[in-house]
Amino acid sequence: MCRLYGFRCSAHEPVHAALVSERNSLRRQSVEHPDGWGIAAYVRGALPEVAHGLGPAHLDPEFERVAGLLQARAVVAHVRLASVGEVEAKNVHPFVHGRWTFCHNGTVANYATTRGALEQEVAPRYRKRLKGTTDSERLFGMFLSRLFSKVKEDAHPPVELVAWALADTMASVAKITDRGGQSPSALNLLVSDGELMVATRRGRSLWMSTEATAGKPFQDWPRAAQRLHEFQVASEELSAGDVWLEVPDEGVVGVDSAVRFFAATVPALLKARP
């Protein structure tokens, strides 16, 4: 069990409120999710700037210091409640591979007995880079394996392909881990390369907030390919000031590199397999 937050904007803007000062900021949520935190911010250039901590974010002055300094075009942030894997640096989200950052809210069912099968779904070049013991890092490896089976690592894939890679990861995990009569794997996933950003919902709450222009939130879902000023996605509604809309279970939302809105469902993405 964890909490995640994603931010993508057409300009470099601060995220201190969402991370620290809102009534339900990630810092506040860390009271119940105290097992480490991470922030990946795309400030300049292609690669993210990443900060991690092992203690509760609400007790760590470094979390507030980093959050207060950020003005970024994209941010992926996470606070952890350890359900799989020890509380140590190699298990803290977001996980990073080149310009890609990834985090997970949820738990893979029957992980102790299915870990080997999941790792077989990770291409060898990513499997050998696994450092920690979490289910989440294996999900990232599965996602990378699927994405880069279709494009080269230095490519800039379309948002539809990234969304498919996440959906196919989810479907593969469910096939391996879920058992009748047991709680299924919970798979809220968030990924970004600093330009596009995609999030999925399965088994945990997920909310989004969008703006057409600065300070003017959409009251309902934007239309497909609508150009946005700002896109936010979070495990919980962060504030009363923004308009937060619930993402349906098996839903996928995000923005492309031009900050145009994208929405789909896992079944539809799997049916349209590239």
So what's the pLDDT on residue 110? 96
- With a cut of 90, say whether residue 155 has pLDDT above it: yes
Percent of the chain with pLDDT over 70: 99
Residues 206 and 246 sit within 8 Å (Cβ to Cβ): yes
**Phi, psi dihedral angles at 139 (to 5 degrees):** -60, -40
Residue 130's pLDDT is: 96
Q: What is the pLDDT of residues 190-216, one digit of tens each?
A: 999 999 999 999 999 999 999 999 888
Question: Considering the entire predicted model, what is its pTM?
Answer: 0.97
Q: What is the pLDDT averaged over residues 244-267?
A: 98
Percent pLDDT > 90 in the chain is 88
With the C-alpha atoms ordered 135, 136, 141, 145, is the resulting torsion angle positive or negative? positive
Find, among 250, 93, 223, the residue nearest to 163 by Cα.
Answer: 250
161-170, 222-231, 232-241 — which is least confidently predicted? 232-241
**Cβ-based burial of 234 (10 A; exposed 0-12, middle 13-18, buried ≥19):** buried
pLDDT, tens only, 98-118: 999 999 999 999 999 999 999
The tally of domains found in the chain comes to 1
* pLDDT tens, residue by residue, 6-18: 999 999 999 998 9
* 3-state per-residue secondary structure call for the chain: CEEEEEEEEEEEEECHHHHHHCCCCHHHHCCCCCCCEEEEEECCCCCCEEEEECCCHHHCHHHHHHHHHCEEEEEEEEEECCCCCCCCHHHCCCEEECCEEEEEECCCCCHHHHHHHHHHCCCHHHHCCCCCCCHHHHHHHHHHHHHCCCCCCCCCCCHHHHHHHHHHHHHHHHHHHCCCCCCCCCCEEEEECCCCEEEECCCCCCEEEEEEECCEECCCCCCCCCECCEEEEECCCCCCCCCCEECCCCEEEEECCCCEEEEEEHHHHHHCCC
Averaged over 135-144, what is the pLDDT?
Answer: 98
Residue 87 scores a pLDDT above 80: no
Cβ partners under 8 Å of residue 2, min gap 6: 33, 78, 79, 80, 81, 93, 103, 104, 105, 106, 235
Tell me the residue range of the domain where 51 lies.
Answer: 2-271
Give strand pairing partners of 179.
none
User: Residue 10 sits in a domain of what CATH number?
Assistant: 3.60.20.10
Q: What is the mean pLDDT of residues 164-192?
A: 97
Mean of all residue pLDDT scores within the chain: 95
Once rounded to an integer, what is the mean pLDDT over residues 152-160?
97
> pLDDT value at position 1?
67
Query: Does pLDDT of 81 surpass 90?
Result: no
pLDDT value for 241: 75
pLDDT digit string, tens, across residues 60-79: 999 999 998 899 999 999 99
For residue 220, is pLDDT > 80? yes
